Amino acid sequence: MTVTVPGSTLGIVGGGQLGRMLAEAAAPLGVEVVVLDPTPDCPAAPVVRDQIVGDFDDPEAFRELASRADVLTFEIELADSELLDEVSDEYDLAVHPSPDTLSLIEDKLVQKRALDDAGVPVPPFRRVDDAEDLRAALDEFGSVMLKARTGGYDGRGNVPVRDESEVEDALDAVGGPAMAEAFVDFARELSVIAVQGDDEVRTFPVGENIHEAEILRETVVPARTTDEVLARADEVARDVLSVLDGRGVFGIELFETQDGDISVNEIAPRPHNSGHWTIEGARTSQFEQHVRAVLGWPLGSTARRSPTVMANVLGTVDESRPATLGHVESVLAAEGASLHWYGKDEARPLRKMGHLTVIDGDDADIDSMLTRARDLRDGLTFE
């Protein structure tokens, strides 16, 4: 491997907040970024070399991106895996993670079957095509989480079903092919940000995730659990990587049961919301690691710098409105706090608009840090 600076041009399908933070991490490495996104002046636009405006299944837009890049990646599962495969062949261009991995992960049923076949622990699940299938899942598992097989994110496409009276409404809400997963009596939700490089694998310290209404609100690192659980979570994450092809960062969401067992909830083949803490809290951020990995460069250290809490800044509005964040000075003035604004023009109910992190010394009380991060976040307002 020969690495020079300035380096390659990285083409990214998707120009949302993940594309923005990938470009911010790429710039110091001498890597230029071009993104493809259907929204003009997308969040990544101010920090990339150029944006190609096009849909995530637009063949001509994909070809333009491929013609201008040395390597392709994606920051959203809506990227068309078949098109990525086509332009990879047409332009003799590497795509990481591989289109096959994206194809496997974008369908939650296919994803779960692949993990189960590989011996990776997952909650019991079954395919749901109609009301009869869902009733059978309720009979087998009791209460279930009905999940859209494709397209669901941030709680969208996930519907809890507790008895037969909810079956029809749940199927209507999902609106397409689905899978039913047995409810897990979990003690906490965890995640591991794992990196698959060129013949090397690294994992970040395990994070503890706090959700409300299926949307991630905060991530706490280190996770408040036992050393045995932390080791098992890391082991399972590494087993997950053995199922996936291609280089890059993978966000692996896990359940820890009341008995300390670990099972895989879902996988994201890209940097993940629960890894945003790494920008301030780790030696190398998940975004820099993804850039390094997809280019085939040596990976950086995943060691934690300090205890860290990340809190998402969501759109606390009843209806869509122009996005203007107020009372930012309280975060800017707070010791150890950092604000990340995603540059979205419109605030929508519960839309991810940014995040903040709080770091402290190794002897800090993590519960107090979590309270502080929440107070700072909740003090922000949308004018």
**Per-residue model confidence (pLDDT) at position 154:** 61
The CA distance from 281 to 264, in Å, is: 24
Q: Binding site annotation covers 181?
A: yes
Q: Binding site annotation covers 266?
A: yes
pLDDT in tens, 223-238: 999 999 999 999 999 9
Q: Binding site annotation covers 280?
A: no
Delineate the domains of the chain, giving CATH numbers in brackets: 9-95 (3.40.50.20), 124-182 (3.30.1490.20), 186-382 (3.30.470.20)
Q: Binding site annotation covers 183?
A: yes
CB 316, CB 382: distance < 8 Å: yes
Q: Is the dihedral of CA 321, 324, 327, 333 positive or negative?
A: positive
Specify the pTM: 0.95
The CA distance from 41 to 295, in Å, is: 26
Within the chain, what is the greatest distance between any pair of CA atoms? 62
Those residues whose C-beta lies under 8 Å from the C-beta of residue 146, and which sit 6 or more positions away, are: 128, 134, 158, 159, 160, 161, 170, 171, 174, 178, 179, 180
Residue 249, judged by CB atoms within 10 A of its CB (0-12, 13-18, 19+), counts as buried
Amino acid at 100: D
pLDDT in tens, 292-341: 999 999 999 999 999 999 999 999 999 999 999 999 999 999 999 999 99
The CA distance from 291 to 10, in Å, is: 8
Q: Binding site annotation covers 211?
A: yes
Amino acid at 199: D
Q: What's the half-sphere exposure (Cβ side, CA atoms, 13 Å) at 356? A: 28
**Per-residue model confidence (pLDDT) at position 157:** 79
Q: For residue 210, is pLDDT > 80?
A: yes
The two tokens of residue 309 are 């809490």
Q: For residue 55, is pLDDT > 90?
A: yes
* 3-state SS class at 234: helix
Rg (CA), the chain: 20
DSSP H stretches of helix in 175-281: 227-241, 278-281
